[in-house]
Chains A and B, each alone.
Chain A
């Protein structure tokens, strides 16, 4: 039913075109048109090679590229090139007067004006989505997936075409039927129409091809691709997919038994796998959805690419939907470059999945905090806007460039560049924030130990605590003084050893004098501390010990002085070493014992 109504439409179109008087166009002539249509996947990819000749006298600078409206509405990607020299030409949608409404026109700017007699070859690549209509539209699980393509065997153009041919590459499967016009040949899975010679402008002969397609009609209704750039060495890409099967809808029920029956499983129209081609050196790849991790995936990587084969939780039949998230990290130096004082991110725009058509894609490029002068260059038109995202360790938020596009096909998977300015000093703000956080913790500790949290300032426990604090402080000072005394004793002993080595009496005497004065000063300092300890009531159990310590220390001092004098006298009299040793032997023993006792007492005081 639908097929015949469209054919009627096309016939009417043909009539209206032929009825209208030919408007005054530049009289270019297309001497050779070769069209190849590839319908092996879910979209139609048309490659045209047009040889344009200008037989007239005026020079021409633009060329009209036309498509019938039902194709033009579904045009996803269009690019026009010249082979020699290789150049991309700019194409704009045009609306010139005199062209009927049922034709969409694109105006191509020629690289240099085509003067009389010149010729030029244009290579046009156009991709159309939604032109392979499933027919029948609803199938059961066991049926094969048949689709229909409607096109014109002759190239619809406002110019005269001298010679043209069309070849349609069908998938390697069953071909149900095709329109048979003159010069039609079917070779294997390639359908050839033509060559047709010397046709007037706007000539059109509709054809319909009905064939089986084994391609996966996977369409992402919405794809949100977030690319987060971190100058610490990583580009993190997170993609959220909502995938639907846009082929013939499933009619009736789904039987898992039939689907997995061997040897004849039923369910050819469904697809199970999606293949994604990620850049090389992608790491930390995850594949999950709202439920959790999906483990049915495989990864293969080499130096040129990383291939990720994912299998959703269930096979997708016509009309079925699934949603999932894929994330991966990429090394920064593969994608971030510096040129002329600015930095730019060079990364692919579309989905990395092969043969996936996206109805709406939103690409968010998140740049680090402190990026300025942001601009984007894309090889095709996108809708741009800017946002702010608040993420880890952010003060003002990160700028986000949001690019939106509808009807995206794998031809759009080219690289885009996002330019911005950033100085490396801004990187320091993150560790500074962490450092100040830790510093605040330490300040809190300091304040806590110094603050007075007691509720009552006159309770006996509080007062006792205050007194005890003072006693402890005094004890520490006493300890330090005793340590200094002991150090002085050590110096004295050292001078004695020096004397035995060098025989220099004068330095020994000088050392003795200095140690004497030092010890006198220290004992003076000790007096008030001792007085305080004796007077305070809470130190009552310690002060006898402290006094004992001081007394012992004095004894040690005296004995050491005596020994020193004896040794020096011995040297002055030049008596033998053994003599000296005998004299001081007993003194030495007492000295050692006293020293030990003093150290024990010091330890005891320490432990309090």
Chain B
């Protein structure tokens, strides 16, 4: 009955790098979302485009903030 040590699913040393990249991508997509919101007129807005952009942005922002919390020592 050998006991295997368990480590985290992602190497701990990668947390800061991952957080920077995912947050950057998330913020860029958030910017795209808000630009679309402000430059389109009421009639021309498409709900599908808005929902798709916000979904992708929230996925990247969610993971980015999780890795940011882990990299700064708050092991949630």
Residues of A that sit less than 8 Å from B by CB: 228, 230-234, 236, 284, 329, 331-334, 336-340, 343-344, 346, 391-393, 424, 427, 430-432, 434-439, 441-443, 445-446, 449-450, 469-470, 472-473, 476
Contacts and interface: CB of A to CB of B under 8 A. Distances in A.
Give the 10 A-B residue pairs with the shortest CB-CB distance, closest first: A435-B62, A442-B54, A233-B8, A438-B58, A337-B3, A230-B75, A434-B62, A439-B58, A233-B12, A333-B5
Given A232-B70, A434-B66, A469-B41, A446 B51 contact: yes
Contacts of A438: 57-58, 61-62, 65
A437 B62 contact: yes
A446 B63 contact: no
Contacts of A232: 8, 12, 70, 75-76
B63 A340 contact: no
A469 B42 contact: yes
Nearest to B5: A333
B5 A336 contact: yes
Given A469-B42, A469-B43, A476-B41, A431 B75 contact: no
17 contacts: A233-B7, A233-B12, A234-B12, A284-B73, A332-B8, A337-B6, A338-B6, A391-B76, A392-B76, A430-B76, A434-B65, A438-B58, A438-B65, A445-B33, A446-B37, A469-B43, A473-B43
A232 B67 CA distance: 10
Contacts of B34: 445
* Majority SS at the chain A contact face: helix
Interface residues of B, number: 37
A315 B57 CA distance: 57
A442 B58 contact: yes
B23 to A, nearest CB: 11
A481 to B, nearest CB: 14
Contacts of B66: 430-431, 434
Contact of A442 (B5, B12, B57): B57
Interface of B: 1-9, 12, 33-34, 37, 41-45, 47, 50-51, 54-55, 57-59, 61-63, 65-66, 69-70, 73-76
A470 to B, nearest CB: 7
Contact of B5 (A284, A334, A430): A334
B55 to A, nearest CB: 7
B7 A332 contact: yes
B63 A431 contact: yes
A470 B9 CA distance: 53
B40 to A, nearest CB: 8
Nearest to B53: A442
A284 to B, nearest CB: 6
B19 to A, nearest CB: 12
Given A284-B73, A436-B62, 6 more contacts: A230-B76, A233-B75, A329-B75, A434-B62, A435-B59, A476-B44
Contact of A432 (B55, B62, B74): B62
A424 B63 contact: no
Nearest to B39: A476
Given A236-B75, A333-B5, A449 B37 contact: yes
A280 B54 CA distance: 45
Contacts of A449: 37, 45
Contacts of B51: 446
B24 to A, nearest CB: 15
A291 B65 CA distance: 32
B6 to A, nearest CB: 5
Contacts of B43: 469-470, 473
Nearest to A369: B76
Contact of B4 (A233, A338, A435): A338
Contacts of A343: 6
Interface centre among A343, A434, A436 (most CB of B within 10 A): A434
Contacts of B50: 446
A338 B5 CA distance: 6
A446 B51 CA distance: 8
Contact of A337 (B5, B58, B59): B5
Count chain A CB atoms within 10 A of each CB in B1, B4, B5, B75 and give the residue with the most.
B75
A442 B76 contact: no
Given A233-B7, A337-B5, A339-B3, A435 B63 contact: yes
